[in-house]
């Protein structure tokens, strides 16, 4: 199957999304000002030394202003953290939803309780809830458990790492993956550097085998081999470092790919003792899935390929419209891939270590120098 990622994206694009004002979509796609996704909030249990976790400042809850409600319109409740990247998603989401629905926003912080989220749901009786990040999902799960078997509103989940894994414990849900298919990132790296990108190495924990198998298939469609090494579930920094070096020295890979797996990232010290130490020996380009891992001052990732957050909001709205047309049967809708991505690159690292293609900057949305 040729170019399977493009085929999947084409299948995901509905007539409703394409019928809207094309200039609005173009403006969003050209948007270059975008912010980092805090790793703790996205993944639920890890921080990074490069500015992730809870290091950023969230806006005041009072900064969320919902559109004026209209009589007779169903309500969509958006439960979201107050950090800038989530605000970008909400902005695109509300822009579309307010045309057909009432919108009620519940700001979620680490102090928010399941009872508080539940009270907001009970008060607004939403047709659907949008859950952004693992913390919010966990609060919603506790609320559902407290219902004692009574029906809960369907959920659309975004800004969560590996959302497909969450679906097993949240049956009435669908959503959009935060992970960009590896082949997209591999192709982007190949367009940016002159060093060959024929074989990419990845380290993964046991629960990610099915995901890796799918990514290997997609990579093969671009004549790129994905060489994967499994590490223990509770892998140590030393074990991870050895696995990464093994991919470089024994398996002779051309580049490395870091999954958005909290068990492989954890915190700044773990990154230093595993990934950074390994790269001193491996000396290979590293593809990451979080923009705060691109830092020329303390080099780690070479490129990050991530969803365009505001466009992700528009896509989420489109998914909600589709689910509404289908009688809110979210379980009948597969997890979608993000339609639009951004590439951020450590240009200094790429140029000095791996060489830049003559037109490299055309393939980079933000150059960190």
Which domains occur in the chain, in start order?
4-179+307-341 (3.40.50.2300), 182-306+343-368 (3.40.50.2300)
Mean pLDDT in residue range 237-257: 98
pLDDT, position 368: 85
Q: 246, 238, 233: which is closest to 269 by C-alpha?
A: 238
CA dist list (Å): 42 to 12, 51, 171, 283, 336: 23, 13, 20, 29, 17
pLDDT, position 18: 36
Give the separation between CA 235 and CA 226, rounded to whole angstroms. 21
- Residue 252 in tokens: 């002779």
pLDDT, position 114: 97
pLDDT, position 35: 29
Q: How confident is the model at residue 11 (pLDDT cuts 50, 70, 90)?
A: very low
The full length of the chain comes to: 369
pLDDT single digits (tens) 16-35? 333 333 333 333 333 222 22
pLDDT, position 22: 33
pLDDT, position 172: 93
Report pTM.
0.77
pLDDT single digits (tens) 79-122? 999 998 899 999 999 999 999 999 999 999 999 999 999 999 99
CA dist list (Å): 119 to 20, 116, 124: 35, 5, 9
- Residue 205 in tokens: 């924990």
Q: Answer with the residue of higher pLDDT: 351 or 27.
A: 351
CA Rg value for the chain: 21
pLDDT single digits (tens) 261-303? 989 999 999 999 999 999 999 999 999 998 889 988 889 999 9
Give the separation between CA 22 and CA 18, rounded to whole angstroms. 7
Strand 303-307 to strand 75-80: parallel, antiparallel, or no bridges (unpaired)? unpaired
pLDDT, position 149: 87
**Is the model's pLDDT at 5 over the cut of 80?**
no
pLDDT single digits (tens) 25-68? 333 333 222 223 334 344 433 332 222 333 345 566 556 889 99
**Is the model's pLDDT at 315 over the cut of 80?**
yes
pLDDT, position 44: 39
**Is the model's pLDDT at 250 over the cut of 60?**
yes
pLDDT single digits (tens) 153-209? 999 999 998 898 888 889 899 999 999 999 999 999 999 999 999 999 999 999 999
Mean pLDDT in residue range 326-345: 95
């Amino acid at each position: 199957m040729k170019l399977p990622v493009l085929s999947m994206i084409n299948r995901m694009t509905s007539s409703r999304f394409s019928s809207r004002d094309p200039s609005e979509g173009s403006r969003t796609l050209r948007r270059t000002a975008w912010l980092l996704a805090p790793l703790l909030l996205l993944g639920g249990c890890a921080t990074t030394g490069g500015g992730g976790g809870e290091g950023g400042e969230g806006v005041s809850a009072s900064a969320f202003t919902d559109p004026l409600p209209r009589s007779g319109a169903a309500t969509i409740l958006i439960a979201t953290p107050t950090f800038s990247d989530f605000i970008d998603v909400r902005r695109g989401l509300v822009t579309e939803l307010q045309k057909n629905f009432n919108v009620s926003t519940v700001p979620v912080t680490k102090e928010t309780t399941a009872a508080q989220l539940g009270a907001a749901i009970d008060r607004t009786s939403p047709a659907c809830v949008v859950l952004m990040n693992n913390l919010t999902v966990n609060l919603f799960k506790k609320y559902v458990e407290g219902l004692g078997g009574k029906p809960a509103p369907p959920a659309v989940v975004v800004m969560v790492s590996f959302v497909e894994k969450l679906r097993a414990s949240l049956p009435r849900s669908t959503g959009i993956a935060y992970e960009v298919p590896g082949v997209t990132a591999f192709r982007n790296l190949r367009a940016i550097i002159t060093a060959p990108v024929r074989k990419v190495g990845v380290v993964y924990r046991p629960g990610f085998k099915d995901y890796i198998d799918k990514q290997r298939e997609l990579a093969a469609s671009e004549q790129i081999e994905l060489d994967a090494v499994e590490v223990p579930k509770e892998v140590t920094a030393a074990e991870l470092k050895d696995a990464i070096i093994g991919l470089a020295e024994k398996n002779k890979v051309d580049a490395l790919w870091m999954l958005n797996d909290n068990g492989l990232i954890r915190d700044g010290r773990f990154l230093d003792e595993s990934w950074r130490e390994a790269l001193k020996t491996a000396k290979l380009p590293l593809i990451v899935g979080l923009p705060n891992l691109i830092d020329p001052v303390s080099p780690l990732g070479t490129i990050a390929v991530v969803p365009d957050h505001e466009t992700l909001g528009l896509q989420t709205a489109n998914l909600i419209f589709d689910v509404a047309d289908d009688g809110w049967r979210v379980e009948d809708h597969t997890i979608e891939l993000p339609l639009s991505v951004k590439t951020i690159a450590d240009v200094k690292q790429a140029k000095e270590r791996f060489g830049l293609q003559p037109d490299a900057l055309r393939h980079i949305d933000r150059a960190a120098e």
